[in-house]
Structure 1
Amino acid sequence: MAIAQSLTTTASLHYTPFIRELFDTLLTDSWCEVSSNRAIEFVEGEADVAVEKLVPYETRSEQGIFFTADDITMKIVNSLAAEVAVEKSFFDPSCGAGNLLLGIAKSYPIKKNLNRTIEYWSKKFGGCDLHDNFVIAAKLRLIALAAIRHGLPSISEGQLASFVRKFDKFYTGDYLEADVGGDFDCVVANPPFGHVVASRSNEWSSGRTQLAAIFVDKIISSGKKGQKLVAVLPDVLRSGSRYERWREKLAKETSCGAVELHGRFSKSVDVDVFILNLNNKPSVVGQIIEWVPPVTDTEGSVRLGDLFLVRVGPVVPHRLEEGDEDFPFLCAKNAPAFGVTFPEERIKFGGTKFLPPFVVVRRTSNPCDKNRLITTLVKGIEPVAVENHLVVMKPFKGGVNSCLKLIKALKDPKVTSRLNNVIRCRHLTTKSISSMVLQGV
Structure 2
Amino acid sequence: MEGFAEYNTKLEQVFHLWRKDSNSKYSNHSNVTAAKVRELIDIATLRESGVFFTSENLAEKAINAFNTPIDDSALVVDPTCGSGSLLVAASRKLAIMPLASETLKKWGKQLCGIDLFPEFVYCTKLRLILETLVRGAEADKSLPELLNLLTNIHVGNCLDQLPLITKATHLALNPPYNNSKTPASYSWANGKINNAAIYYYELSLILKDGCSVSAILPDVLRSGSRFEAWRRTVEPALAMSNVAVEGRFDKQTDIDIFILNGLVDRQSFNTVEWQTVETLGTEGAHKIRDFFEVAVGAVVPYRDPHEGKLYSYIHPKTLPRWGEISKIPESRRFLGRVFQPPFVAIRRTSGPRDRHRAVPTLVLGKRLVAVENHLIVLTPRNGSLEKCRELSDLLKENHVNEFLNNRIRCRHLTVSAISEIPWRFE
> Cα deviation per residue 1:348-397 (whole Å; 9 max; x = unaligned)?
22221111111011010111112111111110111111111111000010
Distance 1:329 1:71 in 2: 48
Distance 2:358 2:187 in 1: 34
Partner of 1:129: 115
Q: Which amino acid aligns with 1:352?
A: R
Task: Determine whether 1:249 maps to 2:249.
Answer: no
Partner of 1:37: 25
Partner of 1:164: 147
Task: Determine whether 1:75 maps to 2:76.
Answer: no
Q: Show the 5 A alignment for 1:342-381.
A: 342=326, 343-381=328-366
Q: Which amino acid aligns with 2:403?
A: R
Partner of 1:8: none
Partner of 1:201: 185
Distance 1:394 1:256 in 2: 40
Distance 2:277 2:370 in 1: 36
CA root-mean-square deviation? 2.0
Q: What displacement does 1:49 show?
A: 4.1
Partner of 1:4: none
Distance 1:299 1:241 in 2: 25
> Cα deviation per residue 1:210-240 (whole Å; 9 max; x = unaligned)?
1001111122112122111101100110111
Distance 2:188 2:44 in 1: 30
Partner of 2:315: 331
Distance 1:182 1:299 in 2: 44
Task: Determine whether 1:417 maps to 2:402.
Answer: yes
> Cα deviation per residue 1:164-191 (whole Å; 9 max; x = unaligned)?
1111111201112223322121011110
Partner of 1:260: 244
Instruction: Decide which of 238, 242, 245 is 2:222's aligned counterpart.
Output: 238
**Structure 2 residue ranges without an equivalent (≥5):** none
Q: Which amino acid aligns with 2:235?
A: A
Contact 2:104–2:149 (Cα < 8 Å) also in 1? yes
Q: What displacement does 1:66 show?
A: 1.4
Task: Determine whether 1:388 maps to 2:378.
Answer: no
Q: Which amino acid aligns with 2:78?
A: D
Distance 1:154 1:221 in 2: 40
Name the count of aligned residue pairs.
Answer: 422
Task: Determine whether 1:293 maps to 2:293.
Answer: no
1:292–1:362 distance in 2 versus 1, CA, 3 Å: same
Classify the secondary structure of the residue corresponding to 2:286: strand
Distance 2:255 2:374 in 1: 20
Q: Show the 5 A alignment for 1:203-222.
A: 203-222=187-206
Distance 1:212 1:154 in 2: 38
Distance 1:412 1:53 in 2: 39
**Structure 1 residue ranges without an equivalent (≥5):** 1-11
Distance 1:225 1:300 in 2: 38
Contact 1:301–1:440 (Cα < 8 Å) also in 2? no
Q: Which amino acid aligns with 2:30?
A: V
> Cα deviation per residue 1:297-318 (whole Å; 9 max; x = unaligned)?
5168311112111111111222
Partner of 1:17: 6
Classify the secondary structure of the residue corresponding to 2:28: helix
Q: What displacement does 1:60 show?
A: 1.8
Classify the secondary structure of the residue corresponding to 1:420: helix
Contact 1:91–1:184 (Cα < 8 Å) also in 2? yes
Distance 1:49 1:19 in 2: 14
Distance 1:110 1:124 in 2: 13
Q: Which amino acid aligns with 1:290?
A: E
Task: Determine whether 1:317 maps to 2:301.
Answer: yes
Q: Which amino acid aligns with 1:93?
A: P
Task: Determine whether 1:282 maps to 2:270.
Answer: no
1:13–1:202 distance in 2 versus 1, CA, 3 Å: farther
TM-score, normalization by structure 1: 0.90
